[in-house]
Chain A
Amino acid sequence: MQFDTRSLWIYLHFTRLQLNVIEHSQISDPKVISEPRAIYEVKHNQLVQINAAAQARGIQIGMGLASASLLYPDLALHEYRPEVENNTLEHLANALYLLTSDIVLAPPQGLILRAQNMLSLYGGIKPYWQVIQQCLSKQGYEYQSAAAFSIQAAKLMAKHGTGVITEERSTINDALQICALSLSDIELKDLEKLKRIGIHSMAELNRVPLSELANRLSRVSLDVVSELRGQAPSRVSFFKPLSQYDDYIELLYDISLADKLRPVIIHALNKLSDFLYVRNARCLQIHIDFYQREHAPLPVTFDSAMPIYRSADWLSIIELKLEQLSFQSPVYALKLRCHRHEVAELTHDDFFASKSTHVAAMSLLSRLMSKLGEHKICGLKFVEDFRPEQGTLTSAHLNTVHEKSEQSIFADRPGLLLRQPQPLDKKVKVLKGPERIVCGWWDDNSISRDYYIGQSEQGQQIWMFKTPEQQWYLHGYFV
């Protein structure tokens, strides 16, 4: 989408995104956080993000692995993974989407907000920025911000760390003048060319008219320059929030005991519950993939009998299954997925009605199912059939849909039925009968039986039948 040069943009540059992600999701011990830690990019053999402790020991961004380890041999290293940062940016965008409408993802470390159309809603840039700041500080990632009337200018200032959040053109321009061009999107070879003619900063660039630069610079760089000067509009496409939820968390160190994963899972569930909460949604099923170091990922599905969103509710279900889980090799990452969620229905039930029993019953069922397995929890269904074997259907409890009109036909039926009638081997006295059932000639399961109610010498009342061949079978107990 194309915009005029009058709309105000805010650029958020997350300086140590991956480092922050690691620190937030997994480390709870302040001592571990304060240890020197760095993100290392293999391709260029350089450190791309370092924490304050590493900085204090003289380690710098852009250093190679060898010089860094000479300075501090115990430096904690993590491989740089752009996808982690991309995911985090999406999470941030999701969180910000509730406060501001137009967001642009600028991977790997940037987010762009279009502030112009929010100004009248919030009544100025100050209250707007305050709300945004609150949201960002809740997420806890370090960032540098800047406002400007073009994206390129805002980006340059944010990266430079000299940005101001204001809507006054003159203040923004003053802040922009001192920025070095090396941090802008101008292509590297064009930067060299500009340097050769003595242009290092924005102030120097502004002195040269654009037409003079046109034959020196490439097309891309020229666009950047004209945008920096506020002479060309920005072209971006906006972020659209996803309806699916995916969260990939890489662990600091390999974990082989399922128990030890609990804090990480709690963190992931909290994020999920925030996601669902703002959408007024809840879900029935979540998946967690456990990435194992030497084996294929282990996917585990967690079901709830009723839609829930609270992380505590999910945790109680997950913990039961976690107890039984054993990994073939240590886990290095996990991914939480929730692909289907439903909008919570508004129910206008009486506050004191029996609703709470229903909720508790459903959570009891979820607990049983997650520990024992779904197939072991059954419901019964009654089919109107004269054949006793066909009358009862066992079905998974969740899928059972009951018709309201279910009603028994006969009152004198035993409580327990043998799956297979057994030849009668006891001495019994006939109490009642016969009752003839001849049925099922239409579907190959035809029966022809004379049923009697009998009582054994021990006082057991049993249901038995005689076949036309005069053979006696035991079929049930009147418990």
Chain B
Amino acid sequence: MNPLLHELESKQWIWTAAKAKQTSAQSTRLETGYEALDKALSGGFPSAGMIHINSYLGCGELRLMLEVLQKKISRTRDKLWIFIAPPFQLNAEFLLSENISLEQLVVIYPDTDDEALWSAEQCAKSGVCEGIFIWQKKLLHTQIRKLELATLHGASHCFWFDNSEHATSNLPLSLSLSLRRENEQLQVKINKQKVGWAKPSVSIKLPFKCRTGPAFRPKPIPIGSVVNIHAKR
């Protein structure tokens, strides 16, 4: 074998199509629920790994990721959701409406980037976290590699939200997405994925959950002798 190629392979910088057969059996991919996106992602999100999302703050990036994670079939109820250094205060009401129990929620406010990355790595490695969300400005190649290995070890997902203008390539990520919103549609561009080619934008519809939707269902409170009368709509 070409020594250069050999070296690249030993560093695990090369993905070979032969591996795809073993690793990306359809069932291990995490379906996103959007057909077009699933197709582009060859079945869905990887079952573990570091996922980079490049977007402006507030185009529905977190909602999309939470939605996908909630679809996991083998989900255990008491895994933790870790948010490390969110840019603003997290809204508890939003998380509740996304079906995240606040008992399982941990928010970490580190002082330095090193602390943030250390805690992200610890969480990823522990195998008790459903998702780890970080908002770092810039990560180095080695830092990403470390996190990626930790997530694979702990079978968890680490989402790195980043709103820088220039997309960087060649990072050892499992998946890198760019999100742009155009009115109702969310344009998802796949910059990099481990089991396939980069793909042009796919549009998906990510609407607001509105107050009259299924999420809003006030519980009737039965009180002893009071009989609830449900008026028909």
Q: Do A and B come from one complex?
A: yes
Contact A416 B87 (CB under 8 A): yes
- In whole angstroms, how far apart are the Cα atoms of A360 and B93 in the complex? 27
Residue A419, interface by CB 8 Å = yes
Check A479/B62 contact, CB under 8 A, given A361-B126, A417-B89, A459-B56. Answer: yes
A479 to chain B, nearest CB (A): 4
Closest to B182 in A: A459
- Cross-chain contact B128 with A409 (CB below 8 angstroms): no
Complex interface bits, A304-336 against B, C-beta within 8 A gives 1, otherwise 0: 000000000000000000000000000000000
- 20 CB < 8 A contacts A-B: A357-B128, A364-B80, A364-B123, A377-B108, A380-B92, A381-B102, A391-B93, A394-B89, A409-B93, A411-B216, A412-B209, A412-B210, A413-B91, A413-B94, A419-B89, A459-B56, A459-B181, A459-B182, A477-B57, A477-B58
Interface centre among A407, A431, A432, by most chain B C-beta atoms within 10 angstroms, is A407
Contact with B along A462-479 (1 / 0, CB 8 A): 100000000000001111
Q: Determine the chain B residues whose CB is within 8 A of the CB of A397 once the complex forms.
A: 106
Across the A-B interface, the 5 shortest Cβ-Cβ residue pairs? A459-B181, A477-B58, A408-B96, A460-B58, A479-B62
Contacts of B101 in A (CB 8 A): 402, 406
Residue ID in chain B nearest A410 by CB atoms: B211
Does B92 contact A392, Cβ atoms closer than 8 Å?
Answer: yes
Report which B residues bind A (CB closer than 8 A). Answer: 56-63, 76-80, 86-97, 101-103, 105-111, 115, 118-119, 122-123, 126-129, 161, 180-183, 208-211, 213, 215-216, 219
Residues B91 and A376 in contact, CB atoms below 8 Å apart: no
A415-B102 contact given A361-B126, A477-B58, CB 8 Å threshold: no
Q: Is the CB of B91 within 8 A of A416?
A: yes
Please name all residues of chain B whose beta carbon is closer than 8 Å to the beta carbon of A407 when the two chains form the complex.
96, 219
Q: Which residues of B contact A379 (CB under 8 A)?
A: 102-103, 105-107
Binds B, one of A101-109, A116-124, A236-244, A366-374: A366-374
Interface residues contributed by chain A, number (CB under 8 Å): 55
Q: Which chain B residue shows the least CB distance to A460?
A: B58
In this complex, the member of B62, B89, B105 whose beta carbon has the largest number of chain A beta carbons within 10 angstroms is B89
Whole-angstrom distance between the Cβ of A2 and the nearest chain B Cβ: 59
- CB pair B127–A382 under 8 Å, yes or no, is no
Contact present for B58 and A354 (CB under 8 Å): no
A23 CB to closest chain B CB, in angstroms?
38
The reply to whether B58 and A479 form a contact with Cβ atoms under 8 Å apart is: yes
A360 and B96 in contact, given A411-B213, A459-B182 (Cβ under 8 angstroms) = no
How many A-B pairs have beta carbons closer than 8 Å: the answer is 183
Question: Once bound together, how far apart are the Cα atoms of A378 and B57, in whole Å?
Answer: 23
Q: How many whole Å from B83's CB to the nearest CB in chain A?
A: 9
Q: Is the CB of B57 within 8 A of A358?
A: no
Q: Which residue of A lies closest to B118 (CB)?
A: A371
- Cβ–Cβ contact B86 & A416, under 8 A: yes
Output the least CB separation between A54 and chain B (Å).
Answer: 50
Contact check, A361 vs B211: say whether CB atoms are below 8 A apart: no
**Does A365 contact B60, Cβ atoms closer than 8 Å?**
no
B107 engages A380 (CB within 8 Å) = yes
CA of A376 to CA of B215, assembled, Å = 32
Inter-subunit contact A479/B103 (CB<8 Å): no
| Residue A230 interfacial (CB < 8 Å) | no
Bound form: Cα–Cα A416–B95 in Å:
10
Q: Are the C-beta atoms of A459 and B59 separated by less than 8 Å?
A: yes
- Does any Cβ of B come within 8 Å of A418's Cβ? yes
Q: How far is the CA of A458 from the CA of B58 in the complex (A)?
A: 10
Tell me whether A152 is interfacial, beta carbon within 8 Å. Answer: no
CB contact between A357 and one of B59, B76, B97 (< 8 Å): that residue: B76
Interface assignment of A453: CB less than 8 Å from any CB of chain B? yes
Whether the Cβ atoms of B105 and A380 lie closer than 8 Å is yes
Indicate whether A388 reaches chain B with its CB closer than 8 angstroms: yes
Q: How far is the CB of A285 from chain B (nearest CB, A)?
A: 20
Residue among B90, B161, B219 with max Cβ neighbours from chain A (10 Å): B90
Interfacial chain B residues near A402, Cβ < 8 Å? 101-103
**A382-B78 CB under 8 A given contacts A397-B106, A459-B181, A461-B58:** no
Which residues on the A side are within 8 Å of B180 (C-beta)? 459
Q: A354-B78, A372-B108, A455-B181 are in contact. Are A364 and B126 (CB under 8 A)?
A: yes
A361 in contact with B78 (CB, 8 Å):
yes
Query: Is A414 engaged at the interface, CB distance under 8 Å to the other chain?
Result: yes
Q: Which residues of B contact A462 (CB under 8 A)?
A: 58
**Hey, which chain A residues are within 8 Å of B93, CB to CB?**
382, 388, 391-392, 408-410, 413
- Shortest CB-to-CB span from B179 to chain A, Å, is 8
Report A352 CB to chain B, min CB distance, Å: 12
Most chain A beta carbons < 10 A, residue from B97, B123, B219 = B97
Measured CA separation A380–B89 after assembly (Å): 10
